[in-house]
A = this chain, B = another copy of it.
Amino acid sequence: MQAMSDAKKDKQSSHVPVHPDERMARLVRLAARGFNRALQLRLQTENVTFGQWIFLRILWQEDGLSQRELSDRAHLTEPTAHTALIKMEELGYIERRNVDGNKRRQHAFLTKRGWALRDVLEPLALEVNDAAMAGLSVKAQDDLRNALSVMIRNLENDEHDAAARGVRVPPTKGNTAN
């Protein structure tokens, strides 16, 4: 019997035959999980959570968005955005305030501290990206992005169709695994 390769020693590698129905879904989930873990690994050294990263990233590009706008952009619910933003205000990354005398909307504005994080965190994301892309040609990366975009659109349409048929759209509870 031949010796196992390095990769095979890892207990994650599937001894298990994968359901044909789920092969692509599984790969996509595992890749997402990989990106998340790789990024969280780096963010934790700066004491920033993944959720905070998501909102920071959005604010660096569009400072002063309302909570509702932020939750939309982040694909997270308002309560989730709410608690994350409260925490980020406590941490001094943002300031929440009203604009134009509208007391309904709560807008989030980056503080000096919040802006400063950008210089620290963006390189970490770049690092993850570079690590992930190793061995993939520019064309391969391009094709990959295109194919992913097609799948995303297909699945969004599926969801819209379901919603149109009156199906309640379920939670996106946390399950990056598998």
Contacts and interface: CB of A to CB of B under 8 A. Distances in A.
A101 interface: no
B33 A159 contact: no
Interface residues of A, number: 87
Interface in A51-88: 51, 54, 57-58, 60-62, 72-76
A140 B147 contact: yes
A131 B143 CA distance: 19
Contacts of A153: 7
A156 interface: yes
A10 interface: yes
A102 interface: no
- Kindly report how many copies of this chain are found in the complex they form together: 2
Chain A interface, >50% SS class: helix
B178 A128 contact: no
B156 A19 contact: no
Contacts of A38: 155, 158-159
A28 B148 contact: yes
A11 to B, nearest CB: 6
A115 interface: no
A37 B159 contact: yes
B129 A41 contact: no
Nearest to A32: B32
Nearest to A156: B34
A136 B150 CA distance: 8
A75 B151 contact: no
B16 A73 contact: yes
Contacts of A99: none
Contact of A22 (B12, B29, B74, B129): B129
